[in-house]
Amino acid sequence: MKKTDVTHAVMEKVTRFEENRSRRWIVVFIAIILGIAALIGAAVLRTYDVLSKQHTLDLLEIFYEDKEIIAEFWRDAVAVIVEELPKQTIFMGLLLCVLLVTIWAITRRRRKIVQRRLSELAKRRKKSNNN
């Protein structure tokens, strides 16, 4: 009876499966991170747009010209700027920042596992290509 070595074929399938699973996880993770970062960027741009349309930034330009005015009226300037900020956009941006940091912290262990798995798979591929 002839013995057939199926371990190599099975290991190739396992390697391909693990590689695809790890790469898919990385793609989804990066897409989520980039999506949240894009939303944070949109919140920053909207805040800047609102402040520029209300000419709030012109107030800072006036204060920049005369240093004594800043020393005397800085509290009033801060109060005006804070009052004119779009509160909902700022809140959404802060919430997204917290979500981004939370996702980054929660997936720390998983990212290490995927990184280790991909490096081991790369070693195995390199070893099997040399043979």
- The answer to whether residues 8 and 127 touch, using CB atoms and an 8 Å cutoff, is no
pLDDT of residue 115: 93
Q: Whole-number mean pLDDT of the chain?
A: 86
pLDDT of residue 27: 96
pLDDT of residue 3: 64
pLDDT of residue 15: 86
- The answer to whether residues 32 and 78 touch, using CB atoms and an 8 Å cutoff, is no
- The answer to whether residues 90 and 46 touch, using CB atoms and an 8 Å cutoff, is no
pLDDT digits (tens, 9 = 90+) for 15-57: 889 999 999 999 999 999 999 999 999 999 999 998 888 887 7
Give this prediction's pTM. Answer: 0.76
pLDDT greater than 60 at residue 6:
yes
pLDDT of residue 70: 74
pLDDT of residue 31: 97
What's the farthest any 2 CA atoms get from each other in the chain?
A: 98
